[in-house]
Structure 1
Amino acid sequence: MASQESLRQAFLGFLAAREDSCARSCEAGHLTASAVVLDADASHVLLTLHPRVGRWLQLGGHCEPSDESLAEAALREATEESGIEGLWIEPEPVHLDVHPITCSLGVPTRHFDVRFTVRAPRGAQPVRSDESDDLRWWPVNAMPPGSEELTELVAAAL
């Protein structure tokens, strides 16, 4: 947990230093919001096969000017990418991560990703969007090969 506290302090410093820290045009890096979508029993997690990254990941993305909070951005992204209505979000973040990426700017940058737990209503069936090569429920204790880095994140969400 010490590394999460160190990341929290780094995020706060970045936010204090950059007024544009939530805008994807901020080339130094920008905040993003992710959603660990769990089913009603918290026995399955919804993962997307990301087309550019080529790996199974949690749902999420960039903040939009209309988002009033990171939690709102995470819930909006989860709803858009899952096609599931009636999702609800835990308002406190459960995990932080910083990773290098070349996103829509086309230049190397960093995502300061703030991750939230989102719950789906019982029986929710996801509908894949154009932002995904595949979208499916995975048992929380048997996620797809190559997704080992999500173990800590899913555990934090649970």
Structure 2
Amino acid sequence: MAVNGDARQLLQRWSPPFDQRELREEALALISSEAALWREGAPAHLTASAVVLDRSGRQVLLVHHAKSGKWQFPGGHCERNDASLEAAARREVREATGLAVGLMTLLALDGGPTMCGPSARRHIDVRFVAIVSQDAPRVSSESLDVGWLGSRICQPLIDQISESTWISLFGEAMALA
């Protein structure tokens, strides 16, 4: 139940952009049931992912997921031993890429149907942003490839990150240097 309480607090404290408010309300309604956090739970459930930036903030890490065949941010389902959505996102980044991330800040929500087990289900992905301390990811058994996407292509995504988040991330990056 700790993840439910954490998720509720995280989403209630978050001030979403206008286009994310409805999705936040949907996520808050979902987490009234603990089943909304687990893969085998409700037809609609929360997942956790991270937009992982390199130390320069100019590249975004993507994972070529083996099951979906798509390039995506590292992330996935919560597990029973995850203390929070942030912990789930950290674990997923580490499992998918071998990289440890520092400070994580809630960036956005993303919702849509996806294949989850034998049928399509709805995921509301709680997406964090983080900077890694090293730049050499590895490919996991769940991935076909892992790679850095350059800033020219990912600039629209980078532009969505708030100034206060950039200041926090920059401070951490400087501490890593």
Following superposition, which runs of at least 4 residues in structure 1 exceed 6 angstroms of deviation?
none
1:101 to 111, 114, 137: 114
**Count of residues in Structure 1 that have an aligned counterpart in Structure 2:** 146
Q: State the partner residue of 2:19.
A: 3
Counterpart contact for 2:67–2:142, Cα < 8 Å = no
2:75 to 60, 64, 71: 60
C-alpha RMSD over aligned residues? 1.8
Q: Which has the higher contact order (CA 8 A, sep 6+)?
A: 1
Q: State the partner residue of 2:61.
A: 46
* Structure 2: runs of 5 or more not aligned: 1-16, 167-177
* Structure 1: runs of 5 or more not aligned: 144-149
Residue 140 of structure 1 deviates from its aligned partner by 2.6
Residue 70 of structure 1 deviates from its aligned partner by 0.2
Aligned positions of 1:8-157 closer than 5 A: 8-16=24-32, 18-84=33-99, 86-90=100-104, 92-103=105-116, 105-121=117-133, 123-142=134-153, 151-152=156-157, 154-157=158-161
SS of the equivalent of 2:110 reads strand
Distance between the aligned counterparts of 2:122 and 2:36, measured in 1? 11
Q: TM-score, normalised by structure 1?
A: 0.84
Higher-Rg member (1/2): 2
Residue 11 of structure 1 deviates from its aligned partner by 0.7
Counterpart contact for 1:75–1:118, Cα < 8 Å = no
SS of the equivalent of 1:125 reads coil
Residue identity in the other structure for 1:96: L
Q: TM-score, normalised by structure 2?
A: 0.75
